[in-house]
């Protein structure tokens, strides 16, 4: 005998979440059935509230409830160092190291011809425009060590070159073929410290 349809739907949906297999999805569904209605209600509410209140900062792309995030407007942030990352998750990873005080620019992905993602689908033109206007003292490319991230880093560096702004890239200590979010805080902090000029 299989689960009733609504339970099957729930299991299918939960199993689509990253890192959750069919068995875990089943356990979560069974837990929710056993728990009081308040558990399901607050979970559903938290998901809906997150979706309706959180968006990407217009300037850097990080997750925020505001028009412009607290990193961009933070009085203690060094506006002269601009760190380029693939996505808002990477901003969170770098913030957790506690060792970066500059500002960010998320590209919202990486160049991936196989998936039909070219430079024009990313926030690269916005980055070039921002660097042109703000003239930072340094642009740090904090992209992962995977093949597509590497290609993106080279492309961005090439585009930035005519602007004459020093461009560095993190990498030392970052295992080859890994994404930023897979690295622990100490490794990331070291990768930041060990950035080298391109």
**The two three-digit tokens of residue 51, written as one number:** 């979706």
- How far out from the chain centre does Cα 107 lie? 9
Does position 83 interact with Zn ion (CB under 5 A)? The reply is no
Does position 123 interact with Zn ion (CB under 5 A)? The reply is no
Does position 60 interact with Zn ion (CB under 5 A)? The reply is yes
* Cα separation, 165 vs 147, whole angstroms: 25
CB 84 within 8 A of CB 156: yes
User: Could you tell me which stretch among 12-20, 53-61, 129-137, 169-177 binds Zn ion (CB under 5 A)?
Assistant: 53-61
* Cα separation, 189 vs 94, whole angstroms: 8
Does position 59 interact with Zn ion (CB under 5 A)? The reply is yes
Does position 57 interact with Zn ion (CB under 5 A)? The reply is yes
# residues contacting Zn ion (CB under 5 A): 6
Return the number of the residue (10 or 60) whose C-beta is nearest Zn ion: 60
Return the number of the residue (63 or 155) whose C-beta is nearest Zn ion: 63
DSSP codes, 129-145: HHHHHH--SEEEE---S
Does position 94 interact with Zn ion (CB under 5 A)? The reply is no
Does position 188 interact with Zn ion (CB under 5 A)? The reply is no
The DSSP bridge pattern shows strands 167-169 and 196-197 to be: antiparallel
Residues that bind Zn ion (CB under 5 A): 57, 59-60, 62, 69, 72
């Amino acid at each position: 005998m299989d689960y009733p349809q609504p339970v099957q739907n729930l299991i299918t949906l939960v199993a689509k979440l990253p890192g959750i297999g069919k068995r875990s999805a089943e356990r979560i569904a069974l837990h929710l059935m056993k728990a009081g209605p308040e558990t399901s209600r607050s979970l559903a509410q938290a998901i809906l509230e997150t979706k309706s209140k959180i968006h990407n900062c217009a300037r850097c792309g990080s997750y925020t409830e505001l028009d412009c995030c607290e990193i961009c407007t933070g009085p203690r942030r060094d506006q002269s160092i601009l760190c380029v990352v693939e996505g808002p998750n990477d901003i969170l990873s770098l913030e957790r190291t506690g060792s970066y005080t500059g500002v960010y620019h998320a590209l919202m992905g990486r160049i991936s011809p196989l998936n039909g993602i070219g430079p024009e689908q990313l926030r690269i033109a916005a980055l070039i425009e921002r660097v042109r206007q703000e003239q930072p003292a340094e642009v740090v490319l904090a992209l992962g060590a995977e093949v597509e991230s590497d290609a993106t880093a080279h492309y961005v560096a090439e585009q930035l070159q005519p602007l004459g702004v020093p461009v560095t890239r993190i990498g030392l200590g970052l295992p080859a073929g890994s994404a930023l979010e897979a690295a622990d805080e100490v490794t990331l902090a070291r990768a930041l410290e060990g950035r080298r000029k391109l």
